[in-house]
Amino acid sequence: MSVLVLGATGFVGKAVCAALAQRGRAFTPSALSLGHDLRERDQAFALFAEAKPSAVINCASFVGGIQYGYAHPAEIFDNNARMIANIFAAAKQAGVKRIVNPVSNCVYPRAKTLFKEGEIWDGPLDDSVLVYGMARKFSWVGAWAYARQYGLDTLNLVLSNMYGPGDHFEETRSHALGALIMKFSKAKRDGAPSVSVWGTGAPVREWLYVEDGAEALVRGLDAPATTDFVNVGVASGVSVLELAEKVRAAVGYGGAIALDPSKPDGAPFKTVDGARGAALLAGARKWGSMRGFPARSPGIAPITKARASCAGAAPWASTKARGQDGDHGNQGRRDHARAPCRRGGMGSRRSKLLLAGC
């Protein structure tokens, strides 16, 4: 099976490339930084025609944190809508047999506390993720439409917030964990008396180590077909305040945490029931939320020698950290990595070193 990885130079994309390489599976990396703009229909069709993939792992998207989402909703809508439409059309034209499509857990209604697949259409999304969440639901609609009319098989895996080597560190664009690591590291360096944390600190988030998320996507290539959403997660999370306290301790920062309730919290809960995903992806055991934190988190690992305090590794998880160096797996805004994946499985020592970060 020849696999085309979209968004291959991003945060998730690089982890997916590494997972494929470890299994000796042939793949072709694609990204805006590698000359493939999926927003342009002609370029999308040309890429698929050249790569001739039998399967696609779609790590391409255009997204940011809460601040970015509020400031750039039209850009998020436009870029994602064009990419999604072009990807499905090009895949159909090229005769692709399976698309593995990662979906953010922000597609779930704001009022839910534990996300279950059967409740994904049961209410409005939180305003902070409305545009991006609906764009990811649009990708499911595209999958359903192309399956119904053309028989194109897409597996839609709903992933929790991911973290790990190669994560994104910009205050306006990173998610909670990356933003906190950046803030506390900077405060320690500058000797600041306190660190401002957005919101009340009460929202609960489940976190998925990026290598576990990548492994789920790779396993999705061979999983049984289904048109339903499939969650990947453990139904457990930590509050933003708890997370801030963990980061403060890991960084070794002695100042105060200053909550700023004038800033938005986002959705109150984001935890997912991963029973369906564990069964479909042949996972015999569950993996722990925040597995490997803080020792395997970029920005913290060089600062502290603290050992990982959260157990419960995925059945497929390696015990050795493999850092991926670069930015998030998003076509367009966040697709400029310093170490792009190489074609054909990266079997050489040099190719593997290109992915070594952290």
Strands (E), the chain: 3-6, 27-30, 55-58, 98-104, 153-159, 161-163, 194-198, 204-205, 207-209, 229-232, 238-239, 256-260, 269-270
Helices 210-219 and 11-22, interaxial angle, to 10°? 60
**Pairing verdict, β 238-239 and 204-205:** antiparallel
Phi, psi dihedrals of residue 27, rounded to the nearest 5°? -150, 160
Burial 17-36 (b: 16+ CB within 10 A, else e): bbbbbbeebebbbbbbbeeb
Q: How far apart are CA 137 and CA 343, in angstroms?
A: 31
Residues contacting 208, CB < 8 A, separation 6+: 159, 160, 161, 162, 163, 232, 233, 287, 289
Q: How far apart are CA 3 and CA 229, in angstroms?
A: 22
Which has the closest alpha carbon to 133: 213, 52, 57, 76?
76
**Cα dihedral sign, 179-206-301-9:** negative
Catalytic residues: 132
